[in-house]
Amino acid sequence: MYDRYDLAISWDWEHDREFVALLEKYVHSRGLRFYSISHHNTHETLRRVHRGELVFGAFLDRAFDLDENFAPVARAIRKTGSLAINPPEAIHHAADKATMHLEFLTKGIDVPFTIIISPYSKKREVELSLSELARLGRPFIIKPANTTGGGIGVILGAETLKDVVESRQHHKNDKYLLQEKIVPVSLDGKVGWFRVFYVFDTVLPCWWDHETHLYSMVTDSDMRTYGLGQLCTIPRQIHEVCHLDFFSTEIAFVAGGKAITVDYVNEICDMRLQSLHKDGVPDEIVTTICRVMTDHLGTALQ
- In this structure, are 69 and 28 located in the same domain? yes
Percent of the chain past pLDDT 90, that is, above it, reads 74
Q: What is the CATH number of the domain that holds 150?
A: 3.30.1490.20
Q: How many domains does the chain have?
A: 3
106 belongs to a structural domain: no
In a domain, 279, yes or no: no
User: Is pLDDT at 153 greater than 70 in this prediction?
Assistant: no
- What distance in Å separates the CA atoms of residue 55 and residue 215, rounded to the nearest whole number? 38
Average pLDDT score, the chain: 92
In a domain, 102, yes or no: no
pTM: predicted TM-score of the whole model, two decimal places: 0.92
Q: What is the pLDDT of residue 159?
A: 76
- 83 versus 169: the higher-pLDDT residue is 83
Give the mean pLDDT of 210-234: 97
- Answer yes or no: is 289 within a domain: no
The answer to the question of residue 262 being in a domain is yes
Domain CATH code at residue 15: 3.40.50.10140
- Quote the pLDDT of residue 163: 79
Q: pLDDT value at position 104? A: 97
Residue 194 within any structural domain of the chain: yes
Does 28 reside within a domain? Answer: yes
Identify the DSSP state of 81.
T
* pLDDT tens digits, 172-199: 888 888 999 999 999 999 999 999 999 9
The answer to whether residues 16 and 50 belong to one domain is yes
Tell me the pairing of strands 176-180 and 114-117: antiparallel
Where would I find the beta strands (DSSP E) of 101-192?
A: 114-117, 140-144, 155-158, 176-180, 186-187, 190-191
Q: Residue 267 class from Cβ within 10 Å (0-12 exposed, 13-18 middle, 19+ buried)?
A: buried
Question: Which domain-ending residue is among 155, 180, 205?
Answer: 180
pLDDT at 255 over 80: yes
pLDDT score at 147 = 65
Picking from 131, 147, 180, the residue at the C-terminal end of a domain is 180
Inside any domain, residue 283? no
Residue 214 exposed, middle or buried by CB count within 10 Å (0-12, 13-18, 19+) = middle
The domain that holds 188 is classified in CATH as 3.30.470.20
Domain ranges, residue 30: 3-86+296-300
User: Which of 151, 180, 209 is the last residue before a domain boundary?
Assistant: 180
202 and 141 together in one domain: no
Same domain (yes/no): 164, 191: no
Per-residue pLDDT tens over the stretch 91-117: 999 999 999 999 999 999 999 999 888
Under a CB-based contact definition with an 8 Å cutoff, are residues 123 and 175 in contact? Answer: no
Residues 39 and 15 in one domain: yes
